[in-house]
């Protein structure tokens, strides 16, 4: 169940699975690619729910208001890049080294 504060974002996958409880820590890079729920935050000015990080240049992974999929947010430029259709796809690409930010 999506908490009321996040209901505006298309994030059901995050709350329906184990992501919200355990996140995903990439041991090799020591990067929380997906944060547990206690570490979520919203970039209100960007309409963005940050659920993880790339570990590079402050780039966050997360959900945009009213848009499907997982996005990378580049705070220095204030821009977005579609990164994956789902968190599972994000992690698969991260592990395979095919994900680029």
> What value does the mean pLDDT take over residues 62-81?
96
> Which pLDDT score is estimated for 56?
85
Asked whether residue 101 is domain-assigned, the answer is no
Asked whether residue 75 is domain-assigned, the answer is yes
Strand order of the β-sheet with 48-53 is 41-43, 48-53, 60-64, 67-74, 79-84
> What value does the mean pLDDT take over residues 90-100?
92
Asked whether residue 96 is domain-assigned, the answer is no
Residue 86, Cβ density class (10 Å: 0-12 exposed, 13-18 middle, ≥19 buried): middle
> Which pLDDT score is estimated for 101?
86
Asked whether residue 23 is domain-assigned, the answer is yes
Taken as a whole, the chain contains a residue count of 101
Asked whether residue 98 is domain-assigned, the answer is no
Number of domains in the chain: 1
Asked whether residue 48 is domain-assigned, the answer is yes
Domain of 83 in residue numbering reads as 4-91
Asked whether residue 99 is domain-assigned, the answer is no
Asked whether residue 100 is domain-assigned, the answer is no
pLDDT tens sequence across 31-65? 999 999 999 999 999 999 999 999 988 999 999 99
């Amino acid at each position: 169940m999506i908490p009321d504060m996040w209901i505006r974002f298309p994030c059901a996958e995050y709350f329906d699975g184990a992501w919200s409880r355990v996140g995903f820590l990439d041991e090799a890079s020591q990067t929380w690619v997906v944060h547990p729920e206690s570490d979520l935050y919203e970039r209100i000015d960007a309409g963005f729910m940050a659920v993880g990080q790339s570990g590079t240049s402050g780039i966050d992974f997360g959900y945009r208001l009213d848009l499907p999929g997982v996005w990378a947010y580049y705070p220095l430029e204030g821009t977005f890049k579609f990164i994956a259709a789902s968190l599972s796809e994000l992690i698969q690409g991260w592990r395979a080294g095919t994900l680029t930010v």
